[in-house]
Structure 1
């Protein structure tokens, strides 16, 4: 069979050259389409379910949130196992699916099950799905360089302007904010004053909630003009909160300011983000969507950052603290340089040992064609161009040319022997 293939290839050299050229062109196109990353994504095919129930202990979270979710999420189709983790005020469930399961199909199955078990959880505990990213999806970290602005204002810019703008970039799953203070209105209740006025904390909460809403009425017409009736009741300042009446005692309204102190502050933090020992910073983490091209996503985010920078306050700019794009470029450049060096060395070795340019060219031309064709298979098996895959190609160059060298040397040897026998026959015939 092999002899017939070789014989057919020798008799149809132009067809073989056309096929090789077609594979090379297809391989070049595959190289441009292949996702590029620095490291291979070996994370498990998982869906994360997180639940916030602030102020509760880990044991209470475990008993009333984590355990019910874990037991109910088991039994999903094509599932391997379910992991649960409980901490102060937070519950995390990791649903691990089979490797060949589509991640979005898995998320749909988890959402279907969550819709049936939400009523069994405590009030205020609502499970949500995590971003559709992977364990290596953190492709870019940035901070806001704003030396003249306090941390609360920086966090407000990050949460209400920068985050929403960058989340619209194709391929971005989430922008996770970190650092600074999340502004909030705080009502610090004095327990002694509550006892004095015979009030309770639920009464204070109910009064604040009842005075922080809007309601609408119907439309009425007057002089052929329609007017829409509504009430504007959202709280807009500290004074408005302080003047909310809680209860009427003996004809006197007990206000929030009588039993509590109202202030603007930041939410309680569990840590800080310090950059280079120069103080706290506010920023965000760009989480790449599952299966996206890391290099392309990073480039699109950087372009979007230039647009967003035009709307930032004076003196505020982006400072990129981690950029996987640089690691990707360095990795690709390093492997590319290695490939070129190996191709040159192999070519020189082939030319020196065979000392026959046609044989050397037939062997050397296999290297770019085989490398380009290998990217067709990488795309077919959904493998990105990373350190591992490119290093495998670099190590395989010797194997690529090994067969060609052996075959060419063997053919050259047999042809030389036939030529010598032919010359001997010619000389013998002349002597006769």
Structure 2
């Protein structure tokens, strides 16, 4: 080929190009962001709204419903789900995959602006939140104080730690959870207020208006213009106590109306680290920033801060995503190096020539560097999948180089000079390796047209493998001929291995000759093996993505609705006793109350305790995170009154393994069906923690206003609600600035009227005429039970049943659940439906789309080969190697106990392009020999022994290069392992197919064509 000739004749220029590529590759690698997975765009947007004091039914009607109606008219919307709970609304809008989420979010904000006026006056402005795994914290810290004073710990976190960390490049936001804050609480006696004729609203206005520093103009004095500033801000609690209050009985100080003290403000959230009170800090990174770099910079800042922190104060990392990233990438890099070494050993074993081995060995780093250049300029990141793609491509990178080098070596042995052998050797097999490379690259084209989560995950992997193969093609066509013309040295004496391989080649020739004599028996035997392998398909399970051991377990404990924070804390202590018995746990961070850091929720949840459990590294424990999680389940199953949910091996972007959606009009009927479903699926082997998102009603106090009586006093619902709210929650009137912090000044009534229903009935309400009447005079008060939350999907009531799985594959468990529900569940009418969602829905969607991509890839491979051979006939022969690889694939998956998943399907996609490569080289050489005058049989018997060495070398380098990934050595290898297994076992059998079956099929088809040609000649004659 001209390009090979140019590289051979211009070695100095090509050497300069190589050096420049190495420099560019190094710069590219350093400039690429490092992350766990590629940045994903989820077509889900959340709209959150808070409306303090409102129950779920009011939230549903007044807040969720208007937002649902507005969101439902947006284009490309698949579903609208609303969750209405006490104090807040969460509306989840799911768009079709492929939707431009930037424009979709903008449309949502415009629709929200149009419905804002229809929301109740007390509701906050709805916020639009894009859901993205990168929005999850990359680092979580815990701050502890040995004195146990959480006010100081929180103040330290907010005023000292957070400002320093905000200076780190790449941080998007930092949130502080837990701890406590001081406030100035003014506890008022309602009787004194009445006797002095003062109301809470009046006190609030006085306290706020007096706490100001105001300008008072300017004064000319001695030729100076002096501004006047009137200072009235409170400097300490004594200023608040001595504040003069005008009343109908004269002016008095504020402390005469009640007790004024500095105390802790009410809290609905507590945090603990290993049982000790702590303050949590969650850090999110900016989109596109380097996770590892940001996390490392955070750790450096923390180490600097530790030197100046008060004695005993500790900052501990409870979660650091970069640790798992670094461990995973280190494992991938190690596997790449091991794979490269194994490939080099194969080359040396076959060639027995150090220089030849070095030529191929040089081609690997040059191909890798070229790949990094492609990755950098296409905006890829260094992550588990892109590096996994590079590891998958290591073995394939040298295939083209081996074919060309082996041909050059053979021609050099025949007597050609180094330069002539390099030019002719590259020219002879150049078209074949271009075709074989294009067949491998072309299989990834269909992924471009596939959408969904699986496509977003594996598109970068497909790109990297394509880049690596194109880089290897460049290396094989240019670098290998160049190095061969300069360094290649032919062994004049055969080594022991070469002699043995020559004996093997002779044996192979005899086998091939026997197969050609009995072609129908050979074909029948292969088809029999193919049929036998298909019997194993029912024994293969199905899964979406493999579980990944990230040494992290997330757990939540939920008490009955309405449980106070103190009751939740008591259960937490019981749980902690059990967790302390597990040696594999490194640390435990607990948040009592509030919401889980890793989910978008609305409203307060004082009945929940969320656990972030950090395990010891994988190499320091004998059990996986899933086994430890299941052990925790068994230990905690007898905790009274607590509903425990445990999640492990969570990548952060997949749904629950089992998720059943039950929809219908009546909530009570849905609850009954959900209870039956939970009872049924809990009996299925492998199912753990089946729970529904429906919980028993939240205990509540119902104040029913008698409008007739209330109107006689001139009182309305708003005034009653305000009086009750002020009595139970108090009013924040202003803030007191002190030492860099702001303390709330809270007005609160004595709890005389809020300790029981009977006392609440005696709550005094001031009428417009200044009279005071008890609440029971205008309203009846009773204890009731309201729904905790109301969920609707596409305006239909919905209850979702979720469950985890252990020790079985997802597909088998779903099949068992479907059978059990079909036989045992009863749905009252057609209005009630049960549908599968979660990972099962994601799995089926991915299987359908990737299956279509696989079929399209086969068609594209055939088209590329048809263009290369300028024939429809020879590509058809080569295509027989693709379906028969199922023998190796199924055998490999059964032997390794791997279910079919997205990783396996992507492996099959890659294998589709790989398995035809050797067949292309084989058939191309047969055609060359036939053009030289040999018969079909002679050409096959000549081509087989000639091409067996490069075929074996390319197959073994690819297989051995993937052995570390196949074994799954190191952390984070779970996703690449199924791909590697499919390629290794599939390619192993494909090699046998190429060497035996393809020649036989070629022979049979050639005979058939010859018979047709003779028949036509006879008809013509």
Q: 1:305 to 1:91 in 2, by over 3 A?
A: farther
- Name whichever of 47-56 and 387-396 sits farther off: 47-56
1:311 deviates by: 5.0
Q: Decide which of 38, 42, 45 is 1:44's aligned counterpart.
A: 42
Q: 1:206 to 1:269 in 2, by over 3 A?
A: same
SS at match of 1:273: strand
Q: 1:132 to 1:233 in 2, by over 3 A?
A: farther
Retained in 2: the 8 A contact 1:41–1:136?
Answer: no
1:143 deviates by: 2.1
- Name whichever of 381-390 and 70-79 sits farther off: 70-79
Question: Which residue does 1:141 correspond to in 2?
Answer: 140
Q: 1:125 to 1:386 in 2, by over 3 A?
A: same
Between the aligned partners of 1:117 and 1:107, the Cα distance in structure 2 is 16
1:306 deviates by: 4.2
* 1:390-401 matched pairs, under 5 angstroms: 390-401=387-398
Question: Which residue does 2:522 correspond to in 1?
Answer: none
Retained in 1: the 8 A contact 2:44–2:130?
Answer: no
Retained in 2: the 8 A contact 1:44–1:99?
Answer: no
Question: Which residue does 2:371 correspond to in 1?
Answer: 374
Retained in 2: the 8 A contact 1:156–1:183?
Answer: no
Question: Which residue does 2:347 correspond to in 1?
Answer: 350
Between the aligned partners of 2:114 and 2:234, the Cα distance in structure 1 is 36
1:91 deviates by: 4.7
1:147 deviates by: 0.6
Between the aligned partners of 1:141 and 1:58, the Cα distance in structure 2 is 32
Retained in 2: the 8 A contact 1:140–1:323?
Answer: yes
Over the residues paired in the alignment, what is the CA RMSD in angstroms?
A: 3.8
Question: Which residue does 1:429 correspond to in 2?
Answer: none
List per-residue Cα deviations over 1:266-317 (Å, max 9, x = no partner). Answer: 343333221122x110131121111101122122223333454455334434
Retained in 1: the 8 A contact 2:154–2:279?
Answer: yes
Question: Which residue does 1:178 correspond to in 2?
Answer: 177
Structure 1 position 305 matched with structure 2 position 284: no
List per-residue Cα deviations over 1:217-241 (Å, max 9, x = no partner). Answer: 1011223233322222223434433
Between the aligned partners of 1:77 and 1:168, the Cα distance in structure 2 is 40
SS at match of 1:403: helix
1:162 deviates by: 1.8
SS at match of 1:35: coil
1:262 deviates by: 3.3
Q: Decide which of 274, 277, 297 is 1:276's aligned counterpart.
A: 274
Retained in 1: the 8 A contact 2:176–2:281?
Answer: yes
Q: Decide which of 274, 287, 292 is 2:289's aligned counterpart.
A: 292
Between the aligned partners of 1:379 and 1:79, the Cα distance in structure 2 is 34
List per-residue Cα deviations over 1:334-368 (Å, max 9, x = no partner). Answer: 22211111111111111111223343222222211
Question: Which residue does 2:317 correspond to in 1?
Answer: 320
- Name whichever of 73-82 and 279-288 sits farther off: 73-82
Question: Which residue does 1:30 correspond to in 2?
Answer: 28
List per-residue Cα deviations over 1:154-202 (Å, max 9, x = no partner). Answer: 1112112222222122211111101211333333444455455554433
Q: 1:133 to 1:236 in 2, by over 3 A?
A: farther
Question: Which residue does 2:264 correspond to in 1?
Answer: 266
Retained in 1: the 8 A contact 2:81–2:92?
Answer: yes
**TM-score, length-normalised on structure 2?**
0.36
Retained in 1: the 8 A contact 2:348–2:354?
Answer: yes
1:384 deviates by: 1.7
- Larger of the two Rg values belongs to structure: 2
Retained in 2: the 8 A contact 1:134–1:289?
Answer: no
- Name whichever of 187-196 and 346-355 sits farther off: 187-196
Question: Which residue does 2:158 correspond to in 1?
Answer: 159
Retained in 2: the 8 A contact 1:139–1:298?
Answer: yes
Between the aligned partners of 1:153 and 1:227, the Cα distance in structure 2 is 40
**TM-score, length-normalised on structure 1?**
0.79
1:410 deviates by: 3.8
1:25 deviates by: 2.2
SS at match of 1:219: strand
Question: Which residue does 1:187 correspond to in 2?
Answer: 186
1:397 deviates by: 0.9
Matched residues, number: 414
Unaligned runs of 5+ in 2: 417-1021
Q: 1:282 to 1:295 in 2, by over 3 A?
A: same
The structure whose RCO (Cα within 8 Å, separation 6+) is larger is: 1
Question: Which residue does 2:439 correspond to in 1?
Answer: none
Question: Which residue does 1:207 correspond to in 2?
Answer: 206
Retained in 2: the 8 A contact 1:78–1:101?
Answer: no
Question: Which residue does 1:223 correspond to in 2?
Answer: 222
Question: Which residue does 1:423 correspond to in 2?
Answer: none
Q: 1:227 to 1:118 in 2, by over 3 A?
A: farther
SS at match of 1:396: helix
* 1:14-163 matched pairs, under 5 angstroms: 14-44=12-42, 50-65=48-63, 68=66, 86-91=84-89, 121=119, 122-123=121-122, 125-127=124-126, 135-148=134-147, 150-163=149-162
Between the aligned partners of 1:75 and 1:378, the Cα distance in structure 2 is 40
1:256 deviates by: 4.4
Retained in 2: the 8 A contact 1:141–1:284?
Answer: yes
Retained in 1: the 8 A contact 2:245–2:252?
Answer: yes
- Name whichever of 354-363 and 337-346 sits farther off: 354-363
Question: Which residue does 1:252 correspond to in 2?
Answer: 250
Between the aligned partners of 2:324 and 2:316, the Cα distance in structure 1 is 17
Retained in 2: the 8 A contact 1:133–1:287?
Answer: no
Question: Which residue does 1:422 correspond to in 2?
Answer: none
List per-residue Cα deviations over 1:58-96 (Å, max 9, x = no partner). Answer: 444455555555666788899998776554444556677
Structure 1 position 361 matched with structure 2 position 363: no
Unaligned runs of 5+ in 1: 420-432
Between the aligned partners of 2:140 and 2:48, the Cα distance in structure 1 is 23
